[in-house]
Structure 1
Amino acid sequence: MSIGALDATAAYGRALGIGKDGIGGTSPAGGIAASDDGSFAGLVQSLVGDAAGSLRTADTASARQVAGKGDLIDTVTAMGAAETALDTVVAVRDRVVSAYSEIMRMQI
């Protein structure tokens, strides 16, 4: 999947909650407002939430294994899933940074 410079700019604006009137749409907690319309911000929020859940599951499984109450296969599977989720988040981050750098190199 290729992310163009204009797509990245539009996604960045939606992530910040900047509309046509320039008003941001942040949640009361100060984070980005959750969106269920399939936007880029919703995708990133879901991706990070899933990765955090995988990391928590792996942490719990490894703690059980250290305590002698867990199954080794379950621990290795959870660690593999957490590693894959983290690699995915890092890859998306790298693509966003690359798109941002491309935007910054554009001449006005």
Structure 2
Amino acid sequence: MSIGALDAAGAYGRAAGLAPVTTRPGGVADTGASGEAGGFGQMVQSMVEQTAGNLHAAETASSKQVAGKGDLIDVVTAMGAAEMALDTVVAVRDKVVGAYSEIMRMQI
């Protein structure tokens, strides 16, 4: 199954709580945001911040469990959320690097 770049950006935008990415006539991407907010860079920054928060929460839950003050279920849940967030950021990074490589291979 192949996911288009706009579909992926729209999905990550919705997951991050940002404006959805739609396509205007002519295939031009429209993030739904007017000039005051973000776009793709803001979405990536938000994803990285959320991922850092998830990783910190997982680390905190893990250290509480080691100290005997936490619940194992909380640790597993936090680790799962952190792993999923990190996998999402890595997938976005891979798509961006792939798109950049494709652009660099284009003939002028």
Q: TM-score by structure 2 length?
A: 0.68
Query: Does the 8 A contact of 1:36 with 1:42 survive in 2?
Result: no
Distance 1:63 1:48 in 2: 22
Q: Distance in 2 between matches of 1:62 and 1:54?
A: 12
Let me know the Cα RMSD of the aligned residues. Answer: 1.7
Q: Displaced runs of 4+ in structure 1, greater than 2 A?
A: none
Provide the residue aligned with 1:49 in structure 2.
49
Q: Work out the CA distance in 1 between the residues paired with 2:50 and 2:44.
A: 10
2:98 aligns to what? 98
CA contact (8 A) 1:54 1:82 kept: yes
User: Which structure carries more relative contact order (alpha carbon 8 Å, separation 6+)?
Assistant: 1
Deviation track 1:41-83 (CA, whole Å, cap 9, x = no partner) reads 0000000000000000000000000000000100100000000
User: Which one has the bigger strand percentage?
Assistant: 2
Gaps in structure 2 of 5+ consecutive residues: 7-34
User: Identity of paired residues, percent?
Assistant: 68
What's 1:12 paired with? none
Show the counterpart of 2:76. 76
Structure 1 partner of 2:37: 37
TM-score (norm 1): 0.68
* Structure 1 unmatched ranges of 5 or more: 5-34
